[in-house]
């Protein structure tokens, strides 16, 4: 089994979901062979915390 290093988001983001990773990782485990689709990635807290093999990340914040 490979050891996966979880990364922290590069910036703090209003509405960040990093605090949910401990809960989401349990839910994500059965589907970890699928691609993570994150329509509101913001500070990348979920994507970096779950460390998916494949991800589609998007955000439409002009700031």
Write out pLDDT tens, residues 11-51.
776 777 888 888 999 999 999 999 999 998 888 888 988 99
pLDDT of 1 > 70? The answer is no
Helix (H) or strand (E) holding 19: none
Task: Please name the residues in contact with 41: beta carbons below 8 A apart, sequence gap of 6 or more.
Answer: 47, 57, 58, 59
Residues 6 or more apart whose Cβ sits within 8 Å of residue 10: 43, 44
Helix (H/G/I), strand (E/B), else coil: 30 = helix
Which residues on adjacent β-strands are paired with residue 57? 38
């Amino acid at each position: 089994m490979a050891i996966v290093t979880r990364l922290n988001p590069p910036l703090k983001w209003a509405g960040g979901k990093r605090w949910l990773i401990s809960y989401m990782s349990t839910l994500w485990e059965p589907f970890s062979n699928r691609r993570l689709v994150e329509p509101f990635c913001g500070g990348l807290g979920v994507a970096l915390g779950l460390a998916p093999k494949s991800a589609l990340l998007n955000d439409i914040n002009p700031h």
